[in-house]
Amino acid sequence: MMDKLNIKALRPGADGNNPNAPNAANYDEAKANPYPNLPEALVLKDGKKVTTAKEWWNKRRPEIKEDFDREIYGRVPKNVPKVTWEVASVTDTTNGGVPVIVKKLIGHVDNSSYPQDTVNIQLTLTTPAKASGPVPVIMQFGFVFPRGFRFPPRPAAATGTPPPPPAPTGPTWQQQVLAQGWGYAIIVPNSIQADNGAGLTKGIIGLVNKGQPRKPDDWGALRAWAWGASRALDYFETDKAVNAKEVGLEGHSRYGKATLVTMAYDPRFAIAYVSSSGEGGAKLHRRNAGELVENVASTGEYHWMAGNFLKYAGPLQWSDLPVDSHELIAMCAPRPVFIGGGKNGDGWVDTRGMFMAAVTAGPVYKLLGKKDLGTTEFPPVETALITGDIAFRQHSGGHTDVPNWPTFIEFAKKYFK
């Protein structure tokens, strides 16, 4: 990909492990904003101000989408093959005492164009057995990995060594969702597209490319996972247990990124809980805090993005990006989005940078008749900002999505009857 882009070398990312390294990750707010001027979400490329919803939908949003497609996440090809959903099993059981029906689903991707590659999307759907009609469903990008998978080590100084699994106190997120009378689903991203660069010639990306390497504006893993989530929603639209107009999406960390990308690109998703998404997610690319563009462009993570993204860690600077993450949030408007992060070991994701993006997306929500965050001031830890249609909360529990679930559900209740 570097050859294709004519790039000789990439700048190294921030070192999250060694605070004395010359390229140690920055956590000093005074140094965090080298490029304070963000691209304007409501100014067209020709310099004209966007003042009506119509101009947003017909002119500015397509410009922003094109920039994200080409430079950041890549394009979903036009000829992605069809998915046929199979209900592999249906089980009556209970969760936390609530009777539920669990459906195991497999999304078989038509591979007749390239039989060497097989993609079977794994999805489970759980709905309350006693529901009197279709229910809202929250779908999670699940941390479910192939056998033998080992997580690459996470920057220790930034996130805690290693992040302790959150102590299970109280009901699980699934039980909290069931308590509202809603259902939940878990989709397995790795069954759509592998989480590594070598996998780019396999999975759904490899299937469409017939095993060949990507073009610079081809989709990366984040858009592939998002595509898979949209296919799950196609299935929900056919299942009478689900109110497909009230399907929410949740993901943490890399899957927080995938959640925001899915929500931005597929207007059928009703709400999103974007947890600790960091760089490549809700965090502003122009921020020097925690993880950087250069980290995501490195060998361990570049596969999440379009090849073109490498340029911004090579000859170009972050300030050359035609868009920034506030505009990805703005692409979700007018639908509600909850942005969350942690303190005490979640510095790597730059929660303040995600807050700033959430603030800066506000004018687009307002233009579409919705409410922004309601403040521009970074709130104290554990303060829920959920009165608007963009919501935010920083919990104190480190790199985890667990502590923000009750607040997200409270937020979602405003929208799901």
Interacting residues toward ligand GCU by CB under 6 A: 154, 253-254, 278-279, 291, 295, 348
Asked whether the beta carbons of 393 and 157 are under 8 A apart, the reply is no
Q: Which residue has the tokens 């009857």?
A: 417
Asked whether the beta carbons of 402 and 346 are under 8 A apart, the reply is no
Q: Least separation, in Å, of the C-beta of 348 and ligand GCU?
A: 6
Residues in the chain: 417
DSSP classification of residue 343: S
Amino acid identity at 7: I
> If you write DSSP's letter for every residue of 68-103 in order, what string do you get?
IIIIII-BPPTTPPPEEEEEEEEEEEEETTEEEEEE
Q: Least separation, in Å, of the C-beta of 161 and ligand GCU?
A: 13
The CA distance from 105 to 84, in Å, is: 10
Q: Least separation, in Å, of the C-beta of 290 and ligand GCU?
A: 9
Judged by beta carbon, residue 61 or residue 252, the one nearer ligand GCU is 252
Q: Least separation, in Å, of the C-beta of 257 and ligand GCU?
A: 7
Asked whether the beta carbons of 74 and 220 are under 8 A apart, the reply is yes
Judged by beta carbon, residue 117 or residue 279, the one nearer ligand GCU is 279
Q: Least separation, in Å, of the C-beta of 289 and ligand GCU?
A: 13
Judged by beta carbon, residue 126 or residue 140, the one nearer ligand GCU is 140
Q: Least separation, in Å, of the C-beta of 163 and ligand GCU?
A: 9
Judged by beta carbon, residue 127 or residue 404, the one nearer ligand GCU is 404
Judged by beta carbon, residue 12 or residue 363, the one nearer ligand GCU is 12
User: Encoding tokens for residue 320?
Assistant: 């050359």
User: Encoding tokens for residue 213?
Assistant: 């390497």
Judged by beta carbon, residue 107 or residue 160, the one nearer ligand GCU is 160
* H or E element, residue 293: helix 293-296
| Residues in a beta bridge with 33 | none
Q: Which residue has the tokens 């050859």?
A: 3
